[in-house]
Structure 1
């Protein structure tokens, strides 16, 4: 018993320390990371596929190469270089316990560039995620650290800028730290969505969601038809809204939404911060099915039972309203941006009883809070607890596949229902030749076009197994086609057409490019990979290559199924 007392005391102290409120951060601590007028292509926490936008996207006047500065004194803690994501990115740790992140950079300042380039050559890799020891690369507030670019998964030149609580891994809203953004423009409300949630619920006499456009009238919004909405049972609401900043056409996310019924607040959030590990719950925070079907982003202002986001201030009965008293009720939304500009939408619902036939279940009921699975002699699919945000009437079917497939096509519900994490799938191979076992993979099959998309996977004892991130149709296909290499800088494998660099496009038909390796005179050289343009580039480096002689180039590109292409050339430089 004596031994248990200090253990219990330690646990109580640890829990208390963990649950203590975080210390506020001085709003004046950071300076702007760029010295150009601030116009944003994206703001904090706007709705993105599978994640909240983690920072702000600062437009760089349609060009790259503009200086980027340290927002506060600090030490580089991480350098990430990738053909995807943030591309070339810097992470700068600060004495106040935060980290600033700078993404999609064109290049770093020389002392960072030299540091990471040396490591890339030592490891013979372009893609790298390098932890940097504290004090190795330090910068003062306002000192240049990089140049803006368009690297990685970027749709145009800009700087992605984040502020994070380092230890807690919490993304903070940079617009709360006096960034030089002008904004006196109110958010815009485009439409209301009303959802029947319980089995007996209806909206305007139907058991399906109803979208109603809005119009601006006298500084506030109202419904286009401006009539009471007949509802019955448990219902939820959703809002299609976005924010505009002064002098900027880009549609950004809103900062806060408050929903009241009869002047009682039942739902609200404010985007001060987002816990990094909760990011994927955005697929429940928004209407995922609508986004997949139409591309429109809509805030779901009621909580699905599997939504564990901690951003909500008020969620009275999960934002779901029980409309069974046969009375009218007044509903009001208030929407604001980070600068306090506010707008509203008011409307009336009328509780009107409607009798519906019991909903016919066409599939197996999969519960969000339990393990679910499909298992038979030909397929095994597991949906662990937490993979779903709500219960699903899960539809499973099997149909004959394309003659080029090595299995039937299996329907695993449809892609309008999101998965919180990748789930294991195994499909038994049918009539697969032994020589193709290393080439077979899971593939998602588009139900309309029949086009297939790689879902990876490997062959094991007659089955192909892997993890899938989206629901839909799946089958087994093989990839036996090697990647294509097209030279852009060398003609006839000998004549150099660009004086400062070598460029190639590299593409693959199915499984995707896994690796590429280039050597000149048997020495590894750094080809930089721009995935969105299928482009690799080597810039001649006089410090690592002797000029004024003939050289032998060898470039190898391999896809995820081991198919390999080689390009060789002899050139003078």
Structure 2
């Protein structure tokens, strides 16, 4: 009997271990009941951030039912013309939060609550927080419908699973097993970097990129697999992943780098903090991305790169000396453990015979020190840890035909900024009359100006920006445009469910809008990417049949205002 009891305890313990070791693929209901097709994976490299969820396509249509992954309560709802658009956050037992973004609309009970708050605050954009018991949700309950709201580039559902306590996103594939991936990561190229003044690659003081080819079950640099170098050399790899039966570009899960069979660098992305996501601009070769579009993940860590995703302690770079032979091997995996290998060798070469020439026109800036300068009429303030490593910066002033003020060239657009710097430009006497219509403008590579913003203080205009480039002053005196979209004959909307307008501003951008019907505030949804305002008649409880007056007021970021009135029949 005692032996049977011990056996029972052992069996139960084993069962508990097995349960604990199981993935959570059966824990959550799938958010949609259509065949999953992934257009964006967790951890994928995006502009200025790592992708925090799973993008699930919806057959280029909107309106699919969205189901709650598990029992819980709505903890947050945010409605915005930008970013996630219409999003809902649900907290669950077990320490998880799920997020559903770019929705077309919420379920009716949630939609009516949000609409009441929008009318109360007289704002389409709204953010609300809730406690347990206020909006309880059942497992598998319909909470909304898929859409294309916010900054979405096409109809899809952005789905996240977060750690509830920290709100750190984690890979949603931990919680589902219906997305097939039998395709190994695709290594597209590799790059060697000169990281010291005496560094050379192939006798040249220049970084070297090589595309790759696949043979013998591994990837290899195209041409020769052997490089010659001297000094401190860094390496990087250009890689992406595909899922089964899909050509959508996705991200990888781990990158391990071995040198002479020793692990020198390890990167793994299965959870991260939103506070650290901008360090992606240090993780990748930012300059190469700006220059060529190639996204190369560096395997050396800049001193001000504080990503928590590196699993090795030291920021590795190879110190190559004459006679050295170092064998490099990348082992790269996706979430499904499909593996790719890239191998190459670096042999030491003779050091350069001449010292590297110094460019005295550049200003040296230490990444861990504040920097301020007043030169050429320009005032520039940069806080410590704005850059990921020490930089050399150019400041230049020039007059350009067609510009109403001097053009200031500040830094190099190939250098990323983690924090904003403050630029203060002098205002010529001839422009003081424009007062609040003045803006700091950036100048693009094709010489087009765009608004950066700015605040007037005395005889200067100041703005904070996270990018180097060319800056000048511009004047915006043109008010936004307002027009009805696809209006019916005689503005008779009796057979329509909505009334739509197009609002647009050619320079500083839309700051605010307000729509009144018969002098009452009316809810109009703003689709910023399409410049569209949409008023849904059934969401206007005060509206009766008959003749009505619509008054639309729009203001841009330079304070220019437009007011238009339209008479219509409902």
Q: TM-score, structure 2 length as denominator?
A: 0.93
Offset, 1:179: 4.3
Offset, 1:183: 0.9
Q: Of 499, 502, 506, which residue of structure 2 is paired with 1:502?
A: 499
Q: Of 406, 409, 412, which residue of structure 2 is paired with 1:408?
A: 406
Specify every segment of 5 or more residues in structure 2 that has no aligned partner in the other structure, as ranges: 1-19
| Alignment match, 1:338 | 335
Question: Which region of structure 1 is more displaced relative to structure 2, 463-472 or 545-554?
Answer: 545-554
Specify every segment of 5 or more residues in structure 1 that has no aligned partner in the other structure, as ranges: 1-22
| Alignment match, 1:419 | 417
Q: Of 523, 527, 530, which residue of structure 2 is paired with 1:526?
A: 523
Distance across 2 between alignment mates of 1:436 and 1:541 = 44
Distance across 2 between alignment mates of 1:498 and 1:515 = 30
Distance across 1 between alignment mates of 2:538 and 2:35 = 35
Offset, 1:88: 0.6
Matched, 1:554 2:556: no
Deviations 1:287-329 (A, max 9, x none): 111111222211111111110001111154x121111142221
Matches within 5 A, 1:270-285: 270-285=268-283
Over 3 Å counting, the alpha-carbon distance change for 1:360 and 1:498 in structure 2 is farther
Over 3 Å counting, the alpha-carbon distance change for 1:25 and 1:273 in structure 2 is farther
| Alignment match, 2:188 | 190
Question: Which region of structure 1 is more displaced relative to structure 2, 212-221 or 485-494?
Answer: 485-494
Offset, 1:226: 2.6
| Alignment match, 1:441 | 439
| Alignment match, 1:480 | 477
Distance across 1 between alignment mates of 2:505 and 2:494 = 25
Matched, 1:80 2:78: yes
| Alignment match, 1:564 | 561
Kept in 1: contact 2:523–2:539 (CA 8 A): no
Over 3 Å counting, the alpha-carbon distance change for 1:512 and 1:542 in structure 2 is closer
| Alignment match, 1:47 | 45
| Alignment match, 2:460 | 463
Kept in 1: contact 2:523–2:540 (CA 8 A): no
Offset, 1:24: 10
| Alignment match, 1:390 | 389
Over 3 Å counting, the alpha-carbon distance change for 1:493 and 1:374 in structure 2 is farther
SS in 2 for 1:107: strand
Distance across 2 between alignment mates of 1:134 and 1:429 = 54
Over 3 Å counting, the alpha-carbon distance change for 1:464 and 1:473 in structure 2 is same
Over 3 Å counting, the alpha-carbon distance change for 1:537 and 1:25 in structure 2 is farther
| Alignment match, 1:9 | none
Distance across 1 between alignment mates of 2:565 and 2:21 = 59
For this pair of structures, how many residues does the alignment match?
548
Distance across 1 between alignment mates of 2:172 and 2:132 = 24
Distance across 1 between alignment mates of 2:230 and 2:331 = 24
Over 3 Å counting, the alpha-carbon distance change for 1:567 and 1:490 in structure 2 is farther
Deviations 1:450-506 (A, max 9, x none): 211111111111111120121111111111111111211436884549611111111
Kept in 2: contact 1:32–1:179 (CA 8 A): no
Kept in 1: contact 2:283–2:301 (CA 8 A): yes
Offset, 1:148: 0.8
Offset, 1:402: 4.6
Cα-Cα RMSD: 1.8
Offset, 1:534: 1.3
Kept in 2: contact 1:32–1:180 (CA 8 A): no
| Alignment match, 2:398 | 399
Question: Which region of structure 1 is more displaced relative to structure 2, 72-81 or 233-242?
Answer: 72-81
SS in 2 for 1:410: strand
Offset, 1:30: 2.5
Distance across 1 between alignment mates of 2:413 and 2:192 = 22
| Alignment match, 2:107 | 109
Q: TM-score, structure 1 length as denominator?
A: 0.92
Distance across 2 between alignment mates of 1:368 and 1:443 = 26
Distance across 1 between alignment mates of 2:543 and 2:364 = 68
Kept in 1: contact 2:537–2:543 (CA 8 A): no
| Alignment match, 2:541 | 544
| Alignment match, 2:96 | 98
| Alignment match, 2:373 | 374
